[in-house]
Structure 1
Amino acid sequence: MAQMKELKDQMSSMQSKHVDLENRLSEEHKLRKSAERKIKSLQEKLDYANQERFGDRRQKIQSKAKTSDSDRRKEKDDYDGTDDTLRTDSVGHVPSQELKEPSGKDRDLSNRPDGYKRMGVVGEAIEHPSDLTKVPGRIIERRMVRVFSFRTFLTEECFEMVHYAEPGKKPKWGYFPSEGHPDVVTSFEGTRATPEFLQAIAYEVYVKNVTFGLLHQWLTDMGMTISKNTLRNWLKKGKTYLDELVCVLKSIALEKDSIVNCDETWCKVRKYDHYKKCYIWVLVNKARKTAIFFYENGSRGRDVLTDFLGDAELKSIMSDGYNAYVFIGNELKSARFKDTVHQVCMSHAKNKFVKASNQGGEPTAERFSEILKEFFMRERKYDDAGLTPKERFRERQSLATKELLIELRSLLDSELSKDSEFRSRYYKEALNYLNRFWKEIFAYLDDGE
């Protein structure tokens, strides 16, 4: 009995030690996993910093096949995405190597061009010959040396106005152009300036921040006699015309059932003695070939967009995934735009998978990028074939397109169901983005326009 009691005490002691060791092991396991996640995150940041070190912002898929004879121009033209062209086939992520010519052998000059493009300006060059009578000696050789100059000319134009009277009507003034002369008087009413001249001085004042004193001095140096107050009055007149022009552009771009694209980006705006980070918006109606930039105290808030849209009854608005646009098509957030379809740009989703492949080192991300690229390729084929909206809608609803869509959805669901503990943060962001905006990204499949 004494031995049994002693053995039980030993077993109890060993069990408590075992539990303690398990707790310590579990804690160390958690710390190790946390450290591995930090290492992975830091490695991603380091890879991204190395890529951005010399300012190269192009995103490239790492190609496994080292094909040097790919048609890079075709690859660039086939991609219909953002400004940063994504090259996926012909550009491999390989370090540059220093090439040395073999000693004792002649250089291969077969790839040298027959001729080289030279600098030039369209039109006849102005020649300035030398006065040979002033040369103090025997002339050996003569040649023309080319110099390029940029000059701004201020020109005064006069239009002959005729005061005439028609039978039974009051006399009035009019301009009747002769052959080879302007058809209309090219000046704003109430000013002596053409639209081009008014645009030039407005650019100097409001973009380059030139003071009226320097602007007046600049015009005076070019031989123009004008007062500073006259320049101010001309700019006020120009603003009146510009406000009317914006209203006309808005009526064109925001026609009923129009399809528009909208985006915003930051810019530096000068506030007296310093610069401030502000935001400028743009709305594009591709069908009417109209683009309007708008700005409201540098704000990026939703009110800037809703104030600009007003009561417009748009068919669809395409944007990125910024949550200022989520009220579109949502009757709970905006009754005005509940019937407007919100489309999300597919290129943004594709770019996130490209980044996950490059910086995150996720092999499956490349497959996502390839499938999304195939949707772009199909649209390019429809463009080349000149399909009507009805024909394009039929192709978008075809079995081949649906099979591609099913493959992408299956791949997405499979990846979302996996353990994401050691997954790259870029890959997580790409998967969540595609899943969150799935309906908006593929809304275009339901309409041929």
Structure 2
Amino acid sequence: MKRNHLNDFLVEQIKNKDSQIEGLNQLISSLIEKIESLEKNICSYENLVKELRDTINLLNKRLYGSKSEKSHSENSERTYNGEKLGSKGTYPKEKIEEKPDKKSNPRKAYKRPERRTYDDIEEKIEILEPDAEELIGAKFVRSEKSFRLYMIPAKIVKVIYDRRIYAKDGHLIMPKLPYTPEEFYRRHADPSLMAGILTNKFLYHLPIHRQLNMFVNAGAKIARSTLYDWCGTAIDALEGLYYSIRSEVLKGNYLNIDETTISVIDEDVHHAKKEYMWGLVNTRSKLTFFAYEDGSRSRNVISNILESYIGTIQTDGYSAYKSIGENENNKIQRLSCLSHIRRKFLESRDNDRENSEKALGIIDKIYRLERFFRKQKFHPDKIREYRIRYVVPIFHKFKNWLEKSISNPKILDETLIGKAISYAYREFKALTLIFDDGFFKADNNAAERAMRPCKLGMNNYLFFGNHESARRGAIIYTIIESCKLNGINVFEYLTDVFSREPQPGETYDMFLPNRWNQ
């Protein structure tokens, strides 16, 4: 009997908790509706204020003339003897002295921003003294310091190593030259020069022919073919590091993946063709790598890359990603991208503004919450908790709106708004995976940001000369973008990597950008 009473008591407690949860959900829904109504009221008030300002400006123009400065001021007011007139042009009454309200917050005094000191820049101190004749009989009072920023243009120095060779016990004693990779032995280029060429081209997007002019101005006339040869040689020396970064990225359980188009010269037909480069970002380890497989965008390329991968990938709605998420024996789950969904509705605004704005309004609410979570630097567990509490109701509302819109006969599937709604509905289920882990992002922008420099480079050097050049581009972009994710100076990093002599038992793992100089 006691056990039955206990079971009844527990059932009653569960029912009470369920009713409380239901009441809280209703309260949240009502609050969301109130927020929406308040936002609409704010918009209407803003429009009213704008109309009133336009009316005031029009009346000022009629009163003072269109060329008067007063007619161009939005908040212009009529005055008499330096005093403001009333709203109807009446003269002001005598001023009544009022005691200031202690609760009111007076405007804060202007605080001049602190002058930048540029502490990270190399310093050189020069002591300036007056003329010697003026110092006769003078007494030192104080020292005043000020600074100016000087610029030293790029300079190339020819270093001649004069090695002194000695003989002892029938053997020659010869000092070693500073270390350079084996690929550099027959080239008159120091690691710093190789690092500078790669940094200029792939970080600052300066094509080789522009760098030629820079070298000429620095006093070094180098043939274009020589620079191209040095560039390729330096990238080949980084291939082992590239594969180490690639392996480290694939160890993570959450990847952002995207692909982008590049132009590559087809050597058979001698013109540029549109090819594809893939990019994968591990936001946990702050590493990224690019992959180029003869310009292919097929499912086989990304399947081979993710052959041994286990975890979550976040992508757009490209069919190759979707098939991987569905057919990889539950090893890989796919999280969709809210940014791509939003982009479809932005494109459909000219087609159906009302429905597009409705969808964009819901998506913007999600993004506002996401920005708040990141700005407050909440722990991922806290973000997951807040998402379930505050974002889930918005998702339910979005899903209900999508279902109603799909069944709406007035919205045709062939229209832009119809395609946007269909895309969002197909991607909705995969988007709900963000509630599994607070570290997951709502969009795939990390991969798009990583691949953006590749497109910027194409605007300057236009194309890769062949498939081999594109593959080298994937290697160097992997290293540069990984350095940028870790806030590393790319030139210093590459110079150090080229200059370090391998030691027994040493691997490329110590050169990974997220472990460099630790």
TM-score tier, shorter chain, comes to 0.5 to 0.7
Cα distance in 1, alignment partners of residues 313 and 154 from structure 2: 42
1:387 aligns with 2:378: yes
1:267: how far off?
A: 2.4
What is the Cα deviation at residue 339 of structure 1? 1.7
CA distance in 1, matches of 2:162, 2:371: 54
> Is 1:265 aligned to 2:260, yes or no?
yes
Partners of 2:200 and 2:410 lie apart in 1 by: 54
Contact 1:353–1:427 (8 Å) recurs in 2? yes
What is the correspondence of 1:373-412 to structure 2 with a 5 Å cutoff? 373-398=364-389, 400-412=390-402
Structure 1 residue 67: Cα displacement: 4.0
Summarize the Cα distance change of 1:443–1:149 in structure 2 as closer, same or farther, 3 Å threshold: same
Task: Give, in angstroms, the shift of residue 151 of structure 1.
Answer: 5.0
Whether 2:340 is the aligned partner of 1:343: answer: no
User: Aligned-pair distance for 1:215?
Assistant: 8.8
- Map residues 98-247 of structure 1 onto 2, 5 A cutoff: 103=65, 104-106=67-69, 152-157=154-159, 187-189=180-182, 190-191=184-185, 192-201=188-197, 223-224=219-220, 234-235=230-231, 237-247=233-243
**Matched residues, number:** 312
Structure 1 residues 242 and 384: alpha-carbon distance in aligned structure 2, compared to 1, 3 A threshold: same
Give, in whole Å, the separation in 1 of the partners of 2:318 and 2:176: 54
| Match status 1:293 vs 2:290 | yes
Contact 1:186 1:194 in 2 (8 A): no
Closer, same or farther: CA 221–437 of 1 in aligned 2, 3 Å:
closer
Aligned to 2:300: 303
Assess if the C-alpha contact under 8 Å between 2:335 and 2:433 holds in 1: yes
In the aligned structure 1, how far is the partner of 2:438 from the partner of 2:164? Answer: 55
1:350 is displaced (CA, Å) by 1.3
CA distance in 2, matches of 1:161, 1:217: 33
Over 3 Å counting, the alpha-carbon distance change for 1:422 and 1:264 in structure 2 is closer
Report the CA distance between 1:387 and its aligned residue: 1.9
The answer to which of 309-318 and 234-243 deviates more is 234-243
CA distance in 1, matches of 2:213, 2:358: 62
For residue 244 of structure 1, report the CA deviation from its aligned partner.
0.8
Instruction: Tell me which residue corresponds to 1:354.
Output: 346
Taking the aligned partners of 1:304 and 1:410, their CA distance within structure 2 comes to 37
Contact 2:373 2:383 in 1 (8 A): yes
Q: Is the 8 A contact 1:264 1:279 kept in 2?
A: yes
Amino acid at match of 2:395: L
2:357, 2:221 → 1: CA distance?
65
Whole-Å Cα distance in 1 between the matches of residues 378 and 206 of structure 2? 46
- SS of the residue corresponding to residue 325 of structure 2 reads coil
Flag structure 2 segments of 5+ consecutive residues without an equivalent.
Answer: 1-41, 51-59, 76-117, 124-149, 167-172, 440-518
* Structure 1 CA distance for aligned equivalents of residues 285 and 165 of structure 2: 40
Residue of structure 2 in register with 1:328 after alignment: 324
Distance of aligned partners of 1:65 and 1:194 in 2 relative to their CA distance in 1, 3 Å threshold: farther
Residue number in structure 2 paired with 1:280: 277
In the aligned structure 1, how far is the partner of 2:225 from the partner of 2:414? Answer: 62
Q: Aligned letter for 1:266?
A: T
Residues 69 and 217 of structure 1: is their aligned pair in 2 closer, same or farther, counting only changes over 3 Å? same
Q: CA deviation at 1:404?
A: 1.6
Structure with the bigger percentage of helix: 2
**How many angstroms does 1:247 deviate by?**
0.6
**1:170-218 deviation per Cα after TM superposition (whole angstroms, max 9, x unaligned):** x99679xxxxxxxxx584454453445225556899998869xx99998
User: Unaligned regions of 5+ residues in structure 1, if any?
Assistant: 1-62, 71-89, 91-99, 112-121, 125-147, 165-170, 176-184
Give per-residue Cα distances to partners, 1:24-46, cap 9 Å, x unaligned.
xxxxxxxxxxxxxxxxxxxxxxx
Pair 162,250 (structure 1): closer, same or farther in 2 beyond 3 Å: farther
| Shift, 1:419, TM fit | 0.7
* Distance in 1 of aligned mates of 2:279 and 2:422: 27
- Displacement of 1:423 in angstroms is 7.1
The TM-score, its normalising length taken from structure 2, stands at 0.49
